[in-house]
A = this chain, B = another copy of it.
């Protein structure tokens, strides 16, 4: 028989992502709905170690659903990687009469949570939140949809300039290992070429393709490049290479950078956060632990944390095909 959960702690960890606040709000509101106490933990795992706690009720989370970032803040904790650190965290949770923990974050957050849960038999449920969409077992992670909108809006502005000047722009977007942001935002922004970590088509092919484009009547071009792109050149070297091998365009580089992590979450991310926040509380109530609540085919699903973590990015071949066809 499952013992009744009486107090759930919630924290955010790792890189922040739009929708984290909405997820915290849903956790707190679901606790309130089910008459469970809710304990907010500031600054992620480091806050567990330092007992940086605050009791949260339904009113504590008003007017935050639309805010980017995380009001519980997020830090990296070296100490939590040590056994001593985790022991302190456990003692603090026990002292605060917390029964279970919800961790909102990505890969690293889940790895820490998984370890902690196993060591201390402490119930933990994860909510996937990272703009990179690189978690196994969930169709979407929190923040990903918002980041895509941020990227296409930025490229829309750059396109104004590109098409006014007949220029070629190389635009770097986030994605060290996964090309999801690049591929989707590239299609969404109408990019002529999209370079992603999962395939290395080679810089020579790019030149050929751009020459063909130019012949077909294109007068300006947007190339979307994922951070982790594999040509062996960084984006500035790539720009020089193109400049050396193609007379047709003025080349410009833009690295979108940190704006991609912020901003008010899209409706999609807010609704997803609400579903997952409620789902996480209900999973704990049903005795689950060491799982992530994800979304698959529009339904909340439970995925073992170990499965969630070992995401190996695979290119969405159908999307690549659509990209190639629509950039004709």
Contact = CB atoms under 8 A, between A and B. Distances in A.
Interface of A: 12, 16, 18, 20, 25-26, 29-30, 32-33, 58-59, 62-63, 65-70, 73-75, 139, 145, 148-154, 156-161, 163-166, 169, 184-185, 187-190, 216-218, 252-259, 261-264, 266-268, 270-271, 274-275, 277-278, 297-300, 318-319, 321-323, 325-328
A59 to B, nearest CB: 5
Contacts of A218: 59, 62
A274 to B, nearest CB: 5
Contact of A188 (B169, B187, B271): B271
A70 B164 contact: yes
A83 to B, nearest CB: 26
- Best-buried of A16, A32, A145, A274 by chain B (most CB within 10 Å): A274
Given A65-B189, A75-B165, A326-B278, A261 B160 contact: yes
Contacts of A275: 318-319, 322
Given A161-B262, A163-B69, A148 B267 contact: yes
Contact of A29 (B188, B271, B318, B325): B325
